[in-house]
Amino acid sequence: MTRKWWHDKVAYQIYPKSFYDSNGDGIGDLPGIISKLDYLQDLGVDIIWLSPCYQSPLADQGYDISDYYAIDPRFGTMEDMDRLIAEAKKRDMYILMDLVVNHCSDEHEWFQKACEDPDGKYGNFFYLRDKKEGELPTNWRSYFGGSAWEDLPGTDKQYLHVFHKKQPDLNWENPELREEVYKNINWWLDKGLGGFRIDAIMNIKKAIPFHNYEPDREDGLSSLQNMLHEATGIGEFLGELRDRTFQKYDAFSVGEVFDEKPEEIPDFIGENGYFSSMFDFNETICGQSPKGWYDAKPVTPDDYKRCCFEAQERIGTIGFLSNIIENHDEPRGVSRYIPDGECCPESKKMLAALNFMLRGLPFIYQGQELGMENTTFASIDEVDDISTLEEYRNALEAGLSPAEALRAVSRFSRDNARTPMQWSDEINAGFTTGTPWLKVNANYTSINAAAQMDDPDSVRSFYKKLIALRKDPIYRETVVYGSLEPVWEDRHNLMAYYRKGDKMLLVIGNYQKEEQEIGLPSACKKILLNNYADVAMNGSVIKLHGYQLLILEM
């Protein structure tokens, strides 16, 4: 495999709105990010992915872009962006922007022009269909609920939006649209970006001709998955995208890829794949129900292990997955993958290491390094996220009481990850001097960066050790390129695997609060990492403490 500059890197996702507010308006911003670059450098981060900060009405928090060439004034200016790229470069860090090109905003000039002249050039930038009384063009349900079709203002047509109605889908079948997208990507890469995280990309190829699918809920609509399963030929778009943009710059690209077909993995992330990497969502989709969040099953430790190993096996050494335990679309990983009531520094560190040591690129979501947890909502009025609001309505329709529905959606709400970053125990967790746009998690007085910076036993310090191990010249080759082999796969509440390269490492996590005994298969040369101060080792037998995590050199 050709070695690439990003293979041994550690990435960190910033959700700009909630990271750090420099001017007291309650909204995080680019100058705020710049002021925290030293914090990230100290942690050991190399690549920073920014969730969108382009000009946007923020209907979906910036994933609805009204100008791809402008920074939204709430986040700062283009000068701030240039300064961020330059300041990152000084620290050997790379900035990734979020590439949101399945759709734009209904406030984008293209859409406005399509409304004025639906039969003209810009009408063909979107998917438009003639409006028929009492009949929709297709029965597709948008991801955020309701029909995926909406009236095109001022016309007798309707447009397709697979997400919110303020996010009209762009017509990738139109070469003129694709040219506009490539032009914009290259404009950004010319500025010195390291690359892009690519949003919702599997949606750009629709099954043509459009038609109805079997309804799967009482609303008579059908999940978009049915249509996407039928679509073929996305590779032509993605190959062209790579050739015309990323490849020319040796840029890093990571795709938000779902439901790829197994035989297509080499095309996606193999040598000269469409993307440098793609996210592993196997754990995040575990337990999901077609009925909605209210019907989802919790993820047990054994489920978590199985999902990680499945994903690892599927990819093997074809390429590199990007491993996450959470992002801005998910609840906090520690609240989800650690059984209820058992979140503690030890269990958080265990989860961190089990995920971090997998083969692939580790991505840390802001606050994950502090062990930030899910928040609580006193009422649905405290929720901002459009998908949580939709899932709440859905739960009520299914017959849940308001209290049950709130409890059900609280577990999965995207707002869990979007509460302000907890910098200190000062007012508003040190995030802003004004009123934060979203309520701060009440536990900030105990979970915050200031308290963890100088504490050698903090969750953050443990992340630093994990990052340092990945970069240690003695172990880097094995941690980055080594193969992964599960051990004791059938043992309940135990997740363990080898990483084998020029060294042999054994990662062991006792995924329960009770002790558990294991017999090592061979002699241990060295303990590289331990989330406890001691290890109860008797010959080759180790009695693991609850949630003990060990990384051993064998």
3-state SS of the chain: helix, strand, coil percent to 5?
35, 20, 45
The one of Ca ion, ligand GLC, none whose footprint includes residue 553, by CB under 5 to 8 A per kind, is none
What is the closest distance, in whole angstroms, from the C-beta atom of residue 385 to ligand GLC in the complex? Answer: 9
Which CB atom, from 371 or from 436, has the smaller least distance to Ca ion? 436
Site residues for Ca ion, window 17-76 (CB under 5 A)? Answer: 21, 23, 25, 27, 29
What is the closest distance, in whole angstroms, from the C-beta atom of residue 147 to ligand GLC in the complex? Answer: 17
What is the closest distance, in whole angstroms, from the C-beta atom of residue 103 to ligand GLC in the complex? Answer: 7
Tokens for 232, please give them: 């073929």
What is the closest distance, in whole angstroms, from the C-beta atom of residue 434 to Ca ion in the complex? Answer: 8
The one of Ca ion, ligand GLC, none whose footprint includes residue 252, by CB under 5 to 8 A per kind, is none
Cβ-based neighbour number of residue 151 at 10 Å: 12
Which CB atom, from 63 or from 497, has the smaller least distance to ligand GLC? 63
Question: Would you list the DSSP string of 141-180?
Answer: BPTTSSBSEEE-TTSSEEEE-SS-TTSPBB-TT-HHHHHH
Which CB atom, from 127 or from 475, has the smaller least distance to ligand GLC? 127
The bridge status of strand 483-487 relative to strand 494-500 is antiparallel
Radius of gyration of the chain, Cα coordinates, nearest whole angstrom: 23
Is 423 a binding residue for ligand GLC by CB under 6 A? The answer is: no
Is 391 a binding residue for ligand GLC by CB under 6 A? The answer is: no
Sorted by sequence, the CB contacts under 8 Å of residue 175 that are 6+ apart come out as: none
What is the closest distance, in whole angstroms, from the C-beta atom of residue 167 to Ca ion in the complex? Answer: 24
The bridge status of strand 47-50 relative to strand 11-14 is parallel
Is 169 a binding residue for ligand GLC by CB under 6 A? The answer is: no
Site residues for ligand GLC, window 343-372 (CB under 6 A)? Answer: none
Give the one residue of 63, 111, 365, 547 binding ligand GLC; rule: CB under 6 A. 63
Sorted by sequence, the CB contacts under 8 Å of residue 546 that are 6+ apart come out as: 346, 510, 512, 513, 514, 515
Q: Is 135 a known active-site residue?
A: no
Q: Are 164 and 60 in contact (CB under 8 A)?
A: yes
The one of Ca ion, ligand GLC, none whose footprint includes residue 415, by CB under 5 to 8 A per kind, is none
Q: Are 374 and 416 in contact (CB under 8 A)?
A: yes
Give the one residue of 160, 200, 234, 307 binding ligand GLC; rule: CB under 6 A. 200
Q: Is 199 a known active-site residue?
A: yes
According to DSSP, residue 321 is labeled E
Tokens for 220, please give them: 């008579």
Is 163 a binding residue for ligand GLC by CB under 6 A? The answer is: yes
- With H, G, I as helix, E, B as strand and everything else as coil, classify residue 139: coil
Is 100 a binding residue for ligand GLC by CB under 6 A? The answer is: yes
Give the one residue of 199, 267, 326, 330 binding ligand GLC; rule: CB under 6 A. 199
Number of residues that bind ligand GLC (CB under 6 A): 9
* Per-residue CA distances from 418 to 17, 366, 372 (Å): 8, 9, 11
Which positions are annotated as active-site residues?
199, 256
Q: Which residues bind ligand GLC (CB under 6 A)?
A: 60, 63, 100, 163, 199-200, 256, 328-329
Q: Which residues bind Ca ion (CB under 5 A)?
A: 21, 23, 25, 27, 29
